[in-house]
Homo-oligomer: A and B are copies of this chain.
Amino acid sequence: MNPVFDQVAFLGFDVFGTVVDWRTSVAREVEPFLARHAISVDPLQFASDWRGLYQPSMEEVRSGRRQYVTLDVLNRENLDTVLTRHGVDLAAIPVQQRDELTKAWERLDPWPDSVAGLTRLKRRFAIGALSNGHIAGMLNLARYAGLPWDVIGGAELSRSYKPQAVTYQRTIAAVGRLSEETAMVAAHNDDLVAARENGMRTVFVCRPTEYGAQQTKDLAPIQDWDIVVTSLTEAAEALDC
């Protein structure tokens, strides 16, 4: 095992893209909604468009232009935006249906290796969500997907969004560890850049189809991450779990 992991006791996980496949799952949830309202957009495209508003909406909070609100609030607003962009008259769709569709983000399928990998990693390490998702969303998602978290950390604990330093730092403090006793597990290089800047160890999980076959980003590590793998079972193997 990589010796920098000798003192690691906690693994924090990015969730959307790293542990669960949001794109095909959201598309599946969106499909009957689009059909019912005769909105002719490819569900996978709709999922990507919805996700495309994720970073800009969090940036409003990170920049201080907006007070922290939980991710479900942003996802709900972004749904209306993406519907409008596709020419949909919002007044024609009951609020309750749009509220309900937003919960699609709590019904995301794990990648095929995720549950087995987390279960193995949990033998040796405390494991927790370190996501921009809010606590209730992470809780509901864990129960849907069978993710065996020991603890739910992340954005809501610090009322901030990754890659802000305080998001990592607050979770590290909450689990009672020094930063070098923790590692970040993520499919996104920018997440690991920030985690490393905050003293965490780093595990890059390559997820080359998170954005579909045409994905151009995060296909390879951009720094010498401590561990580089293509699945969470491979991560468990690399960490002797």
Measuring CB to CB, which residues of chain A are less than 8 angstroms from any residue of chain B?
A: 72, 126, 128, 134-140, 142-143, 149-152, 156-157, 174-177
Contacts and interface: CB of A to CB of B under 8 A. Distances in A.
Instruction: Report whether over half of chain A's contact residues are helix, strand or loop; otherwise say mixed.
Output: helix
Give how many copies assemble into the complex.
2
A140 B140 CA distance: 23
Nearest to A148: B148
A104 B174 CA distance: 19
A103 to B, nearest CB: 10
A157 B143 CA distance: 21
A175 B136 contact: yes
A151 B150 contact: no
A93 to B, nearest CB: 23
B126 A176 contact: no
Contacts of A139: 126, 128, 150-151, 175-176
